[in-house]
Amino acid sequence: MSSPGDGDVSRRALLMKLGIVFNGIVAAILAVPLVRYLLSPVSHGRKGAYQSWFALGELEQFPAGQTRLATYVNPVVNLWDGMTGDVACWVRNIDGKKFQVFAVNCAHLGCPVRWFPQSGLFMCPCHGGVYYQDGSRASGPPERGLFEHHYKLENGKLWIKAGEMPTPGMVSGIATGKPPCA
């Protein structure tokens, strides 16, 4: 014979189980980005995205003796990163055969530098950093020249190692043969 409180107990037990299941589902959903983040170095390394080459465009887009802005999509980003995956760089065609591809970010604190063809200088709007056309430091707070991407010319296109972001450890002055600015 059931007592009047039996229905409450079984209802409470059922709600408790439903609560545990619901919390488990929510916890699993919330854990997905965390697990993906923790495993990203392995998964990205497996895909080789860091080592991938990206075609910046046809060589005609970068006339000899000029410096032009180009963009590419960072191969390491996720689909939902949207426009934040677009990366800009400055392409300098030295003589039609030798190029320099500079990271757009200032070597001081990373503001995007702009190219001024009239003066032949890259200038940073944040703290007045200035660079010569070959990317070497001219004046201001930056302690070194602009970072450079590795590049290659293939099938009439200019390619850069897009996943490998330029850092102080990389060789600078790739085209000019200059040692890294210290």
Measured distance CA(173)–CA(145) in Å, rounded: 9
14 in contact with ligand FES (CB under 6 A): no
CA torsion through residues 81, 82, 84, 85, sign: positive
Measured distance CA(75)–CA(162) in Å, rounded: 7
Measured distance CA(157)–CA(148) in Å, rounded: 18
Closest distance to ligand FES from the beta carbon of 111 (Å): 4
Tell me whether residue 92 or residue 108 sits nearer to ligand FES (CB atom): 108
108 in contact with ligand FES (CB under 6 A): yes
181 in contact with ligand FES (CB under 6 A): no
Give me 52's structure tokens.
């991938």
Stretch near ligand FES under the rule CB under 6 A, chosen from 14-22, 29-37, 81-89, 120-128? 120-128
Query: Which of residues 55, 111, 121, 165 is near ligand FES by CB under 6 A?
Result: 111
Tell me whether residue 144 or residue 150 sits nearer to ligand FES (CB atom): 144
124 in contact with ligand FES (CB under 6 A): yes
Is 88 within 8 Å of 112 (Cβ atoms)?
yes
149 in contact with ligand FES (CB under 6 A): no
Measured distance CA(60)–CA(76) in Å, rounded: 28
- Contacting positions for ligand FES (CB under 6 A): 106, 108-109, 111, 124, 126-129, 140-142
